[in-house]
Structure 1
């Protein structure tokens, strides 16, 4: 064995384990230079390049792993599909990769699940349902496949069938506690659609208790830590940051607010302007904070103009790579409300769209959504109320220092008069007038949200005041909001 090759390969493995992906990439290139015929090295290079967001290079590394007869080609196809769909908006190619994966290994569950998710994203309900059925053929106790299939059945009007299937599976048993939680969330939504509200809330509560029990203590919601973060952000930006930076690239429309505040619907409507490209939930700002600005926001104190330009250029490079030629691009990452100060530092002229929804409707919708490990304040209603209070406190500060640079769109007003609200928003954002009704039917866009099928429905007011269906269950949350000054 080549001892130097083995040493470099081991060093690359350690770098991957420590999350030092740029170092791992450099080491793996040396590994490959010594043994270009080793497919696993190409696979690992694809993985670390994906982590550093070098997506075209990652695709090529994965392709080379396939050419070198990697031992699990189905996994390579799934990874390529994720890059193509989630970061490059090349959904037809992503579908082809996923179908290649299941052709090579029809029992590869991740490929069927991802194919179902992609078909939902592009609005192909029948194709999504077929993929989820194939997933259940591989793993009948898989909660995600059965819950998503139930959501499609509800969308198509078979709510009773969806409820019966989920209840039966819960009686038989699922593959894991994660799967039980998925089934219960799916059942809660189906029961809600059937207007069986007490039963729906009970199912959702049980699901959230499972998620809370599985969450490790260090990852649970920390109220004191959230309050400190908001305090630190307010202290870091006592006034509007100075020093305009020249921007060469598309105008960014940052859409942020609480999760479940209508941001998906609002982005889709803004995106009906002919000059606007829909970017979806870009991870660029949170990743920038995690990779280059920790501890946050203390690290901002030492941020130089050159540092800010480098961060801005990195962001714009990713956007222009994925949306070449675009004049305006949306970045709909709701929790970017935490980073409005940073955004306005990098993009002083940035347009911020703040999505706002009635507090109890927002909190209820959060509670009903299975965020699993991604979000830790939705397992308990009182934690969700606390987080909402901190969001409201921070947004009041941003609005005080940035004024009209933040355009608030109220979801409850939007659903009553979408054409008027969005036309006003276009004007406030500096977009030229455009023809057409924002609520008119159009070709199905890509929509990545757990409430996919609701977001594709015609705009209506049924979600406004939804909390009243659960008035008894939400009484403690309502009392807590009233104590904070109302606005529920």
Structure 2
């Protein structure tokens, strides 16, 4: 057989990449670069594919090789390395160095300024974040996302705050896209809420959700029947408790519940303990499900001991790659409440902290947040109320199976009586009391959720009972929740 030439290998790798055959494309680029390691675009494409495949350390190496061989637009490569380091490997210092390297090459490179601002926010550096977003607006005065992020760094002093007018003008600008209207609209709603203009805020949030729906292109529809079917299938797939393990399994501490139910606050409190490392919203479990357990949940229910052991090792290897020297790591992905059956199959001794919040506050908080279209329930209050009901139905099943392994942490109890609530939480986790857990807001842990600024403050009560400011708009939601409770 005639060996392939570099030219034919490049064509094959490119074709495979275009076809979405990621692993085959990676193999083809590796063959090409073994023959011709001086092709910077080949290293760039290999790094891109490795990143997509979750092979982050290898991706960093390939991107560096692209830089070493003089890739065009090196600032983009530094940006990509920075995103990997920040989003996937929890290396904030290294990520900042990469973003600053990009800006040293091209001071007008807006994506690097945006990501640098976001990284500063994650680290609680308000002044530095503001400076980064102002740099973007100096370069592109109509940049909607930068204005949105800048607005989020300041609490509006009143309905006449200049930022409110600035956001309204940006929304009214001719030709503004639906996605920009959504970003700006959620920021406007937040500013009006802070100013106490609740009816105007509710209207702004309604417009923002409508713009978010329009920005999707294809119709975004919440399928209530499909959600109910999924919950039925999960309950059927995991009808009984998993067998208990023998000794330590190395399981992380799982924190889950509805989005906006206090999970980030809970993780920050725990991460202030000397024995705990914050893992954040890890994608490890959903990735295993997508790649190894389809159709889900039936394939998970049918998985034998050998496969479960392999998946457990895979999860832990990926976790340790991110936090190699950590002791107890938290996996704080809220929607992992869907996967508690699988979690207990993989880690029979796993402890699960279930964060709960007053339903109306929780539902309203979700509606006020610009969430991904993969969560279509968030675009409509009644859809969110239905999702909440199905979540409660599933959690009741998990708690019946694992009453001692699932700990309910109520947000309202946490903000009303922090010390005794935190003491009980630490006791469930097998941790001794640490005074540092009360000063969690002083920690320098990076936070990559919408709660980034809330958890930089001492515990406060103003988010509890927030729904009363919007009571006039919540009649149907209250009726739905009361009907749900009446059916139980």
TM-score by length of 1: 0.94
CA distance in 1, matches of 2:171, 2:437: 44
Range that drifts further, 439-448 or 70-79 = 439-448
Counterpart of 2:335?
335
Counterpart of 1:380?
380
CA distance in 2, matches of 1:436, 1:243: 33
SS at match of 1:227: helix
8 Å contact 1:142–1:175 — kept in the other structure? no
- TM-fit CA distance, 1:141: 2.3
- TM-fit CA distance, 1:216: 4.7
Counterpart of 2:83?
82
1:86-97 equivalences in 2 (<5 Å): 86-97=87-98
- TM-fit CA distance, 1:316: 0.7
8 Å contact 2:167–2:184 — kept in the other structure? yes
- RMSD between aligned residues: 2.2
Matching of residue 179 in structure 1 with residue 180 in structure 2: yes
Change (3 A) 1:89 1:227: same
Matching of residue 417 in structure 1 with residue 417 in structure 2: yes
- TM-fit CA distance, 1:262: 0.7
CA distance in 2, matches of 1:11, 1:406: 50
Counterpart of 1:276?
276
8 Å contact 1:267–1:330 — kept in the other structure? yes
Counterpart of 1:107?
108
Counterpart of 1:444?
444
8 Å contact 1:415–1:460 — kept in the other structure? yes
Counterpart of 2:476?
476
Counterpart of 1:59?
60
- TM-fit CA distance, 1:162: 2.1
8 Å contact 1:293–1:300 — kept in the other structure? yes
Change (3 A) 1:347 1:17: farther
8 Å contact 1:129–1:149 — kept in the other structure? yes
Matching of residue 127 in structure 1 with residue 123 in structure 2: no
SS at match of 1:414: helix
Change (3 A) 1:267 1:441: closer
- TM-fit CA distance, 1:159: 8.3
Range that drifts further, 434-443 or 424-433 = 434-443
8 Å contact 1:74–1:101 — kept in the other structure? yes
Q: Where does structure 1 lack aligned partners over 5 or more consecutive residues?
A: none
- TM-fit CA distance, 1:407: 0.7
Residue by residue over 1:155-194, the C-alpha shift from the partner in whole angstroms, topping out at 9 and shown as x without a partner, is: 8999813212212222334642211111111000000000
8 Å contact 1:255–1:333 — kept in the other structure? yes
- TM-fit CA distance, 1:57: 1.2
Matching of residue 259 in structure 1 with residue 262 in structure 2: no
- TM-fit CA distance, 1:20: 3.6
SS at match of 1:97: helix
CA distance in 2, matches of 1:142, 1:253: 40
SS at match of 1:415: helix
Change (3 A) 1:104 1:455: same
CA distance in 2, matches of 1:171, 1:186: 14
Range that drifts further, 74-83 or 370-379 = 370-379
Residue by residue over 1:224-262, the C-alpha shift from the partner in whole angstroms, topping out at 9 and shown as x without a partner, is: 11111111100000001226376564x410000000001
1:312-461 equivalences in 2 (<5 Å): 312-436=312-436, 438-439=438-439, 442-461=442-461
8 Å contact 1:141–1:174 — kept in the other structure? no
Counterpart of 1:287?
287
Change (3 A) 1:158 1:279: farther
- TM-fit CA distance, 1:113: 1.2
SS at match of 2:124: coil
CA distance in 2, matches of 1:3, 1:159: 69
SS at match of 1:330: strand
- TM-fit CA distance, 1:109: 2.2
CA distance in 1, matches of 2:73, 2:173: 32
Counterpart of 2:243?
242
Q: Where does structure 2 lack aligned partners over 5 or more consecutive residues?
A: none
Counterpart of 2:29?
28
Range that drifts further, 74-83 or 440-449 = 440-449
SS at match of 1:36: coil
- TM-fit CA distance, 1:280: 0.6
SS at match of 1:355: strand
CA distance in 2, matches of 1:53, 1:247: 27
CA distance in 2, matches of 1:139, 1:187: 20
8 Å contact 2:249–2:349 — kept in the other structure? no
8 Å contact 2:60–2:81 — kept in the other structure? yes
Change (3 A) 1:217 1:312: same
CA distance in 1, matches of 2:159, 2:467: 24
CA distance in 2, matches of 1:94, 1:411: 33
Aligned residues: 485
Residue by residue over 1:105-154, the C-alpha shift from the partner in whole angstroms, topping out at 9 and shown as x without a partner, is: 23322211111100000011111111111222333222211011011122
8 Å contact 1:174–1:180 — kept in the other structure? no
Change (3 A) 1:12 1:339: farther
CA distance in 1, matches of 2:17, 2:118: 28
CA distance in 1, matches of 2:157, 2:285: 37
CA distance in 1, matches of 2:479, 2:471: 11
